[in-house]
Amino acid sequence: MAPQSLSITARTVDPGLLALPWSTPLADWPSSTIVYLPKGLSRHLVRFANLSGGVVAVKETTEEMARREYDMLGHLTRLNSPCVERAAVIAGRTDAAGKPLPAALVTTHLRFSLPYRALFTQVLRPDTAGRLVDALAVLLVRLHNVGFFWGDVSLSNTLFRRDAGAFAAYLVDAETGELHESGLTPGQRAHDLDVARTNIAGEIMDLEAGGRLEGGVDAIAIADGIVSSYHSLWAALTAAETFAVDESWRITERVRRLNDLGFDIGEMSMEATDDGTTVSIEPKVVDAGHHQRRLLRLTGLDVEENQARRLLNDLDEFRARISRLGDEEEMAAHEWLTRVFEPVVKAVPFDMRAKLEPAEVFHQLLEHRWYLSQAKGKSVPLAEALSSYIDNVLRHRRDEATVMGPTTETMSLPVITRSGRAVVADEDDEPDVDWRDLV
């Protein structure tokens, strides 16, 4: 039972929080409470615990630092920055003898997220390492764009989710972060980037020392990759352009380039030069998620950016295939959602629904269909591709709803929930869909 002096700060208090053994040091929590998941290196003790059918991360720290990080995660969430969701701050902890215990920060475990050490089966391949670094570069640009100085950029302080063949990165540890409403100076951005390069090199070398790095992989080259990726993306988002007044089409071109990177322009400033022949354009405020927002508006599906781009491509192809380009876009999107996407999702057996997110399943199905079509030299019906994908691909994947990857030094037991399975799929009362009727 929770001690009487316990103080819980949270937007909504989950009753399950009171049932956790707060009077016991985190290192001594019983195995019935702990969920053994792989995690990165941390300066603080971190444990995962079951809470109301879900998983939370509990970190012991000082009360001041816990409240500071709790507030920072709230600010970042309001700014739509990719980060873990804050759950609570637990203060006033004491043991059975009345001795004070450290405060704790509780965050919600990000479903389908993967620590970088769990992103490979035996060894880390160069292409996987490169995609991780690219994802971290995008995250860093997004954070810098809203004025967040991280201070401790690393792979260990980041979670990754699969995003249509790439990865999307999320901030996990905001303890050292600072939010500057006026924006960051070039020196602050350079400092974060230098810290990122140093930490990534060390983390990749650590994998190499453990024999978990594919031969020929250059840890320094991988770490250097975040510098080039960051500068390229930052320039694409913020660099000013000058062009002649009769070249206004280049504004549209610039916007499309930013859209392709997953960003929108929120504000632009144009200023004619003294001779009146040129105009300068500089994006002032940019937001990530162009394709995410369009898909959410059309279908209500909230997915990652690359997944949204892939689903929108299929939606557009569907609209052209049914020859209704003159119809309202929203009408075609609703028909695609009910005739194509939802039947695919419902055709996945319940015991496989924790393996991947529905949007990632759909993306991989489209990839699988393309390969089958290439091999047969003709278009393969979606229903045939779905049957092949479920039997030959999805069935052999591990669950990723809560954990993915082999046992590591931080994962020595299987993840077990009350049902006895690693993950419980959300089951409803809807009848199964006959996916053979798919368009």
| Residue tagged 């489209």 (tokens) | 366
Q: Of 50, 51, 47, which is closest to residue 15 (Cα–Cα)? A: 51
pLDDT reported for residue 4: 55
pLDDT reported for residue 231: 94
Q: What is the pTM of this model?
A: 0.71
Residue 113 neighbours by CB under 8 Å, 6+ apart: 159, 160, 161, 170
pLDDT reported for residue 148: 97
Residue 374 neighbours by CB under 8 Å, 6+ apart: none
Residue 242's beta-bridge partner residues? 280
Residue 311, judged by CB atoms within 10 A of its CB (0-12, 13-18, 19+), counts as buried
Distance of CA 218 to the CA centre of its chain: 26
Written as six digits, the tokens of 230 are 């960051």
Per residue in 374-383, pLDDT (tens digit) is 888 888 899 9
* CA distances from residue 12 to 83, 86, 237, 355 in whole angstroms, order as listed: 19, 11, 37, 29
pLDDT reported for residue 195: 96
Per residue in 138-163, pLDDT (tens digit) is 999 999 999 999 999 999 899 998 88
Instruction: Give me the tens of pLDDT residue by residue for the chain, a chain 439 residues long.
Output: 455 578 999 988 888 888 899 999 999 999 889 887 756 566 788 999 988 878 999 999 999 999 999 999 999 999 889 999 999 999 999 998 999 999 999 999 988 888 887 775 556 666 778 888 999 999 999 999 999 999 999 998 999 988 877 788 999 999 999 999 899 999 999 999 999 999 999 988 888 787 777 766 788 998 999 999 999 889 888 777 777 766 666 776 777 777 776 676 666 666 666 666 565 666 655 666 778 888 999 999 999 888 998 899 889 888 877 755 556 788 889 999 999 999 999 999 999 998 899 999 999 999 999 999 888 888 889 999 999 999 999 998 877 766 444 333 333 333 333 333 333 333 333 334 444 445 4
| Cα(226)–Cα(143) distance, integer angstroms | 15
Strands 158-163 and 166-171: antiparallel
pLDDT reported for residue 398: 77
Please name each of the domains of the chain with its CATH number.
Answer: 7-109 (3.30.200), 114-238 (1.10.510.10), 241-288 (no CATH)
pLDDT reported for residue 254: 75
Distance of CA 61 to the CA centre of its chain: 25
CB 269 within 8 A of CB 283: no
